[in-house]
Amino acid sequence: MTEQFEPVIVGFLCNWCSYRAADLAGTARIHYAPNMRPIRVMCSGRVDPQFVLKALREGADGVLIAGCHPGECHYVNGNIKALRRFMLLKAMLRQMGVEEDRVQLLWASASEGIILARKVDQMTEEIRALGPLNWSEKVIGGNGHKVAVAEPVAEEV
């Protein structure tokens, strides 16, 4: 048996809808890919783009941001702000060479456990096809860490 690549997806789920959707998926015993590591945030509008970038740099292969449907945000329009950030972030990530499928946004209400589960399944397969991201080794590598700098490492200064 060859070892299959299992992507790590960091999921930022809003407290009021999508985290409950994940809860529902659990209590309803829906089978779905175990690749998402959920992080509960109060609102999808709380997801600072720094969180997404940090996840990608620190070893995630993908990031899912999930929140309430437009019009259903607990804070009226936090999810609209999340959508605006997401769309601008996507434009920037394209320039940074991060494939589009790696960072995705989903609207899932508290009753939509199945939608969340199917999205995680779908995203897992899409990222599996893309392969590991491994940003800090493959992209940054020796290009920004003092420890990895060429020869005179021993030079204690």
The reply on whether position 143 binds another protein by CB under 8 A is yes
Residue among 88 and 129 whose Cβ is closer to another protein? 88
The residue within the footprint of another protein, chosen from 28, 42, 88, 129 (CB under 8 A), is 88
Residue among 64 and 73 whose Cβ is closer to another protein? 73
- Residue type at 136 in one-letter notation: S
The reply on whether position 80 binds another protein by CB under 8 A is yes
CA angle 33/38/42 to nearest 5° reads 145
CA angle 12/42/59 to nearest 5° reads 25
CB of 23 to another protein, least distance (A): 24
Q: Kindly report the backbone phi and psi dihedral angles of residue 103, in degrees, each rounded to the nearest multiple of 5, phi listed first.
A: -125, 115
By rule CB under 8 A, what count of residues binds another protein? 47
The residue within the footprint of another protein, chosen from 69, 111, 129, 131 (CB under 8 A), is 69
Q: Give strand ranges (E) for 20-132.
A: 36-41, 62-67, 103-107
String marking each residue 89-128 x if it binds another protein according to CB under 8 A: x-xxxxxxxxxx------x---------------------
The reply on whether position 137 binds another protein by CB under 8 A is no
Angstrom distances, CA of residue 100 to CA of 52, 55, 90: 13, 15, 7
Return the structure tokens found at 59.
């070893």
